[in-house]
Structures are given as structure tokens and as C-alpha cells.
Structure 1
């Protein structure tokens, strides 16, 4: 018996997907539903939907530290701790332990990671805006970055496709700056938000306040209930894992759909070392994997490979996949691999207290799992800035002060405590969400002198904001102040928090799409130049960042590439 042949056959699939997060889950769903036996490789632990959400119904008094992490845990995870809302006793177990997964910040870049089946799809903020047509032409128009090899029209049907399955609540607003999608009923705006919207229609007619489009099921449809998903309960505890499956994640939606085909194999605890490239065939033949627990190395084989390990890990794998044909990393003839790293600029924060009294007898129901949104208005239509290119959106929200306001005011006794049981003043805030330009000098590279415990080279990350982002931030803060004040909000804070790139957790680029293999890593179908059966469809593939939350675009790119890959495979081209 030839044991090598037997082992190869046992480890051979039609397709391999590296990563099980938002884009990896979509790749698994699409490939299995199109008939391919698919292996999903996940470096982290298995997570079963519902079963492995231990805090999903927990109250603060049931937690050892009332939901907060003790100081020593925070100090041991300085980057995770900056993320704010999710790194705590309720959902901190979905983050990596930073000590176990080192990297080097040549310039400060805060890299947040979640290694488990489902990846960061268990943690994401779920805001899902389409790109506008101009987002695909900005590079060409202003000369920053290479031209996208696709246009909005190429992706529009795939946006619709993924929206229907994922379940996106939102309103059809009819805005050219933010195309409408396939929406479930929107969540309701609060009274102060409606007031601001109506005021800005008069004072700032080009700035539209809308309810944000979000991947929460306001009204589940048959495609959702077939997977056991149900309506959102407006708890806003999404990052704990949702037992109702009401927010979209790989665990609640795409991976169960893939499993239903009978063609899915998920292998957790599998750190991908490299992609195996056959120089005679001119394509990849498989993937080399390190078992996270035993550190044993195994090869798996397939006709197509989808790389969806999240931006920086996908690039790490490509850089580590060297051969005589690609001595500097798979597909890296251009030298662009690792370069043009981007994140979103969330530095500008403005908010305050509403001075009117007409809403004193109004409140709101539940904990709406989304907020309000102002799409980009700078450098589009007739609004042109002379001092910077591209633009920003605002994420925002209104609410009433609760008992927690007692932490910041003087008082004691029964009367003081009684007053805190009643709602306080209405407040409203806006956070700028700015685009970052693609620049060659923002990059990652392998550090072979500093390896992790699995023998893999670690990443050096060198990334910084530029003058364009600084000028954009200053303008965003000033415009938010003017807008809030026009709506009767007394501004109590307005600042640039100067947070590092990376903290928006929207890292993009480093294996960009393009029209020319001399300046890019991927073609218009997300194929690696020179290795046409390898596809990269996560954030690494992005040629620019726009200012919209990016995950919906990753989903659409992945579904589109998977459809193309299977058709090419059936034609014998892969």
C-alpha cells in the first residue's frame, strides 16, 4: 500500500478556504452550495452557535467583576482594551490573548484579532453600507492609488445577493451618495434624531441624516428562519453571541448554510503556514498547515484556494508562500504585496446636550442595535474642498442620560438617588468616519528574526495617518459642531482623539486588486496574478477604503469571486 498516495487522497478537496470569518464564511457557503467539497481552515478554536455563547443572557450581578475586566487583564491586553465596548467579561473571550500572538509596531498600529470559528464576525458592529459609484473611480479621478478594476455596476447585483441572505435592516433613502439595497424594515429614529434630520434638511440640505443600515433582522424572512434565525430583540448585546441568530455572523448564517449541503469540513486549530505553488502547473496545489495544538505540519490539496484570513494574516500567508517563481511572496511580481495598508479614521468626536425641552416626556423602546448615519458629503456633487481629497461620513446617535450620570455630579442621599431614577437630558453625538488614502509607505513585512510559538514569522507593521487625514479630521470636527448647534445641541465635547490606525478594526489593502500585474496583486476577479486558482476576497484585496463600513463589500466580492471560480473550474480553466 502506498501510504503517501492514501494520505494525499484523504487530504484532497475541491476547494480550500483559509479563515472562517465574514468573507471566509461566505466563500464556504458559495462553494459548497455550488457542489464543491470544501475544507475551511481556522487557526482558532471551534465555536458552536448558541452553545458557545456563555454570557448571552448574563446580567451584571452574575459576572465576577460586574462585566468589567480587572486591571491586570487590561494591562496584559493593551490593544484589545482600547476597543472599548466588547473587550470585557461578556465578550472578551472572542479576542486573542495578545501575549500569545505578538507583532511589532514600527509605527503605532493597533491590530485587533479574534481567532475562533466565526472570527470577528462574532464581534463586528454590523453597519452595512454599499459603496457609491464614485468610490470605485476616486483613485482614477484624483490620482491616489491605482484604478479599481471593477465598477459599482459589477458589484451591484452581488450587493443585492448578499443583502437578501444576510438580512439588512434599513430605509430606501434615494441618495446618490449611498445607494439603496435590499432592506428589511428599518429601526426607528429617536425623536431628537428626527428633529436633527428635519433641521438639517433646511440648514444643510446636502447632509442627510438616516437610520443606519445594519445586519440585524428587524423582521426575519423565510431565508433566515430556515436557518433558525429570528427577529432582533433589541437587547444590543450582539458581541456576546446572539442565541436568536438575529445578527449576521458566520456562525448563525453562512456556515450553517454550508453545512446543510453535506460538503463542508471545518478544521479548527489550523494555522496556515503557506500556499503550495506548483511551478510546472503555474498554479497552487494546496495549503501547508500547522496544527495549533501539536505543531505538526500537514499538507491539504485542492483545485482552488480562497484566502480569507483577514487582511493582515492573509498578507502574511501570501508573503510566507515563497518559491523560485515567487521569491518575495505568492503573486508579488509587482512588489505591492504588503503595501498600501489602510484603516478608517475615527478620530473626530463631537457631542453635547439638547437645550430644548419639548422632548422631556419622550423616551425610546429597548436598546436599538444601531444608530444614525450621515453619508459622505465632502468632495461629491457640488461640494469640493481645496485642501484635501475624499471625505467622511458620520455615525451618530441620540439618547437620554440615565442613572450613570450620577458618577459625574455632586450629591448624596435619598433625594439625590430618587432623581437619578428619572431620565436625564437628551444628548446627541457624531463620530467622523473618514477615508484613508492608499500609500506605499504604509506597509507590513515579515520579521523572520521574531517568530511566534508555531515557528511562523511575525509581522512588522509600519503605518501612520497622513496630512490628508489630519485636514479631513479637523474639518469633520468643525462641521459636526456646526450641525449639532444648528439642531439646538449645546456642544460639550469636540476633539481629535488621535487614535492609532487599526483601532477602527477596518484594516484594508496590502494585496490590492488592480488592472496591471506590475502594480497590483489581484485582478478584477480577485485572482492572484500568476496563480489564477488562488483568490483573495477579504479586506486585503481593497484598492481604496472609501468611508463606509467595509464588510458588506467583502461579502459581495467573495460571492462574486466564488461564482466566477466555480464557472472557470467547470470550464477546466482552473
Structure 2
């Protein structure tokens, strides 16, 4: 590092992918500046609610009217509650606009949503990387499964992914710690479904970033079965920036972390066709700074990384850096869900389970797989669990006194849910853009959303619900109830696309190594880079793509190509 304003590399964003970029680049010897637009959160010290129970909150953990008024978007779904209040972006300071509804749930702080994520960690299968080309949808991925497989191995080993090796082509096995076990009802339902559907449907252990084996050399313990992951884990038992990648990066002595730093634009040298650095607004003082670097990684989260590109090099391209293809901001994707079924599972009244397990089961995709074909393309998987009803089962009866206490001292009936997550196709018309008429607290233009699911997703949702009803019935469930609670894009919190990878600069924003075609020393490895969405949770793929891109960036930097 030549001076305090120049670094070998700048990483924008400290969430799942940004933390990985910082770790990989620093461990390879680069001096790195990690910029985060929000506040710092120190591991363990700042997990202020990690040891609290429901009765420790004034409103027993529920959202208050004041919270709803301040966070109208968060109030649309489960993220708004007392325990995580303050962990999501302030909507008053950070507004956005909607031509079509989009529920944007953001975490602006060091660690980002790595402190809030659901922790399901699945590899894509080879077909996921090939489907666009085979079906003539959007553009072809410029990489294949084999390109990413060794990087999946690598990130799984460091992050600590628990899971079973199931030998399924639809869901490749990985570098796993032992799985968190299924409970007795889940095991039984799994066996019944395997028999009923002749081995074509597999209810398996969820593959999670909750460790079952400690890593004492990293200060990380095994999962304690507290089921409070979203409050920050003092034991470091699940993967987050704070528990895993940030300590590794800090240990090198090569990292500088700067919170409260809003990147307004990437600075671009039009003669050399390279980025030179970033312009930063201090979120607390409103002062502007310029930091320079040889390599820049944009990991600000899907839409914020694209927002930065849209605001950069506008003197060269009206639509911003990376817009020459006409695809920057387009092809927004999410996973559509909130449909499935529930059932009562009888015959296990003498069975219970240990602790508060933070996971459950997963059922991989089986539609449009093998011999199965449908009227739509792609598929869906199910997540869920079986459990015994809690104290709130008796609220409706309004019981009182000794009888109520006696009833609540006994476990309730077993029930099971199957919640489907379906793939959303990339579509050019699903897009974000800068809204010139609305600005945020720092006077910066906000994003305007125009996203909706299409006919393919609507057809798929019918199967997502009906299949769950069919399977729970076949597994011996009673009082089987299908549901569709309604879905709006964004609710899955798996936003992807807007700066997709591709093989041709005429049709994509990034190349096979996540480099911006128009500025090869700028890399984008968060959800913005995704060319399609699969139906499995995407975070593990972000990790693998980031580690791969960082390795390539350092190699190219040493060769003098960047």
C-alpha cells in the first residue's frame, strides 16, 4: 500500500460474498480496503439479543405499531420483529420506488445478511448451468459445474457445512460435516415417501452452514441447538462474515475495514479502460473521499452493486459502467415460495426431540427431472420440518387456571409443513432503474423496481401446492391443508441478476471470471452476476464464485493484465 488512500484491492460490501473476497485477497498478499455502508457489528460483543428469550422483550418479540410505520416494506413479511429490529436497513433513509411491487429486505451493517440468512447451503447441479442454453432462455452461462466444483469443495470446508452425502444427481454431494439429524417423524415420512413414489422423491437432511463439529483453531464451536441464529451466534457455530471470513482476513494484517462508507461510483479511466478506484460518501459526516486500487470487487448485494455500476462512468455510457450490452439492471430473479401444505402426523405421541434444532429437512427438485416432464420448465424443492405444537395451541380456547397450566405442560400434536421454493426464469422486462425523482438521505438517486413472476412460475405454483398435499397425504398425514399465502418478488430474499455473466459482451455484463466486460479490473461476484436462479438457495454459489474470481484476479494482477 503506497498510502492510506491507495490499496491493492477494494472490496465494496461486507456480506457473504464481500467477506469471502476480503479473505481471499488478503490471504493472497494484497492490501485490501473493505468498505461497508452501514455500522460495524463486532462478533459476540454486539450480538445484544443473542441470549434473550421472548419474555425479555417489551412486546414479546412482536412488531409494534411504531416499527410498522417506520418499516412499511419489512412489515409485509416476517423480518419485522423486536429481536432483529435495527438489523435491517432504515427505510426512511434508504427508500426505493415500485412500478411493480418488490419487497426489498436489506441489511446495512458489517456482515450484511450473513447475520440474518436462513443458512441453507446447496450446490447447483450440472443441469442448472446448462438449462438456459438447452431451452433457449436468456443467455448461456459462461461456466459449467466442473468449473465451480473445486471451489464448492473449498468454501464448504472453510464455512463448515453440515449435511449428508445422498448420492443424488439433482443435488451434488459436497465437503460436509455430519448432518443435523432428522427427527423421528421426518425420518418416517422420508421412508414412506421413498416407498410411495418408488425412490423418485427424496426427503433428506437439510444442508446447513450450522456446524456439527467445532473448529477450535478458528474460535468456532459446534451448533448449540438454540435456534437463535438470526440474533448472531456467540459460539460462531454458523457461517457469517463475523465468525469466519473477517477474522481470517484480519489475521493477515492486510485488511482495513471502513464502515459508514457509501460508495457512490467506481472511478473510470476511459483511455486505459480500467477502473481507478471508488468515490465514497461518509454516511455520518457526508464528506466525500476517493480511494484508489488496482482491483475492485463489487459485493454490495445484488441491487446495490448494480446501482453503483449505473452511477459510474456515465460520461462514457449513459446507462453506467457495464451497460453497453443493454442488460445492466435487467433479468431480476428471486425464488418464488409461500405455497405448500401442512398436516397433522399421528402415532408419535410418545416421541419428542432434543433441543431447539435450527434446521429441518430438504426435498430436492424432481419435476422436469429424469423421465418427468411438465407444461412448464425448471422445478422446485421443499424445505420444512416436523415438530410438536407449542403453548400457543391453547390460546384459541381461552382456558384459565389449573387446567390451562396442565395442558400447556404437555407437548402438543405433531405437525409437518412442506414449503416450496421455485425457480424464477430470467426475463429482460424484469428490471431495476435509477429513479431521478426520488433521493435518499444522502441526496443519491434511489432504485425503481418493475418485477413480476410470469406464466411459467404461475403454472409451477399449482404443482408446488398440489404435490405437497399429495405427499403429506401419502405419508399418512391427517387434516392435510394446502396453502398459497401469496408471493411478491423479493419475499424470498434471494434476489439475483441485473449484471449477469455471459459469453458475449453484446448480451451480458460480466465474463466467465466475473469481470465487467468494459472494465476488466472490476469484478462482481454477489447475486448480481447470476445468469439464472436454479431452485436451491444461492449463497453457497456466491461463495464459490467469489473465491474463484479472487484467485483469478490475483493471478492476472501478478501477470500485469489488470
TM-score normalized by structure 1?
0.96
The offset of 1:547, in angstroms, is 0.4
Counterpart secondary structure, 2:405: helix
Aligned-pair RMSD on alpha carbons? Answer: 1.3
Counterpart of 1:499 (choices 480, 487, 500) is: 487
Counterpart of 1:408 (choices 393, 396, 399) is: 396
Paired residue for 1:257?
248
Q: Does 1:182 align with 2:171?
A: no
* Corresponding pairs, count: 561
Counterpart secondary structure, 2:59: coil
Paired residue for 1:571?
559
Counterpart of 1:275 (choices 257, 266, 270) is: 266
Paired residue for 1:339?
330
Distance in 2, matches of 1:82 and 1:255, equals: 32
Distance in 1, matches of 2:12 and 2:453, equals: 30
Paired residue for 2:307?
316
Q: Does 1:380 align with 2:369?
A: yes
Q: Does 1:478 align with 2:466?
A: yes
The offset of 1:412, in angstroms, is 3.5
Counterpart of 1:20 (choices 10, 14, 18) is: 14
Distance in 2, matches of 1:92 and 1:163, equals: 30
The offset of 1:371, in angstroms, is 1.2
Distance in 1, matches of 2:126 and 2:326, equals: 28
Q: Does 1:148 align with 2:141?
A: yes
Matching of residues 448-487 of structure 1 within 5 Å:
448-487=436-475
Kept in 2, the 8 Å contact 1:349–1:497? The answer is no
Paired residue for 1:42?
36
Distance in 1, matches of 2:27 and 2:77, equals: 36
The offset of 1:98, in angstroms, is 1.2
Distance in 2, matches of 1:543 and 1:185, equals: 32
Change (3 A) 1:379 1:32: same
Counterpart secondary structure, 1:165: helix
Matching of residues 157-556 of structure 1 within 5 Å:
157-204=150-197, 205-220=199-214, 224-354=215-345, 356-357=346-347, 359-385=348-374, 387-409=375-397, 411-556=399-544
Counterpart secondary structure, 1:145: coil
Counterpart secondary structure, 1:399: strand
Structure 2 portions without partners, runs of 5+: none
Kept in 1, the 8 Å contact 2:472–2:480? The answer is no
Paired residue for 1:3?
none
Distance in 2, matches of 1:476 and 1:216, equals: 27
Kept in 2, the 8 Å contact 1:402–1:421? The answer is no
Counterpart secondary structure, 2:337: coil
The offset of 1:424, in angstroms, is 1.3
Distance in 1, matches of 2:522 and 2:77, equals: 33
Kept in 2, the 8 Å contact 1:481–1:491? The answer is no
Distance in 2, matches of 1:158 and 1:519, equals: 26
Matching of residues 71-90 of structure 1 within 5 Å:
71-84=65-78, 86-90=79-83
Distance in 2, matches of 1:325 and 1:482, equals: 56
Distance in 2, matches of 1:406 and 1:103, equals: 41
CA deviation vs aligned residue, 1:331-362 (integer Å, no higher than 9, x gap)? 111010000000001131310111x32x1111
Distance in 1, matches of 2:355 and 2:73, equals: 31
Stretch deviating more after TM superposition (457-466 or 93-102): 93-102
Kept in 2, the 8 Å contact 1:274–1:320? The answer is yes
Change (3 A) 1:491 1:177: farther
Distance in 1, matches of 2:83 and 2:162, equals: 25
Paired residue for 2:132?
139
Distance in 2, matches of 1:406 and 1:145, equals: 51
CA deviation vs aligned residue, 1:430-459 (integer Å, no higher than 9, x gap)? 001000000001000001221112121100
The offset of 1:410, in angstroms, is 5.4
Q: Once superposed, which parts of structure 1, at least 4 consecutive aligned residues long, lie more than 4 Å away?
A: none
Q: Does 1:105 align with 2:67?
A: no
Distance in 1, matches of 2:22 and 2:505, equals: 27
Paired residue for 2:115?
122
Change (3 A) 1:56 1:16: same
Distance in 1, matches of 2:148 and 2:187, equals: 32
Distance in 2, matches of 1:182 and 1:43, equals: 33
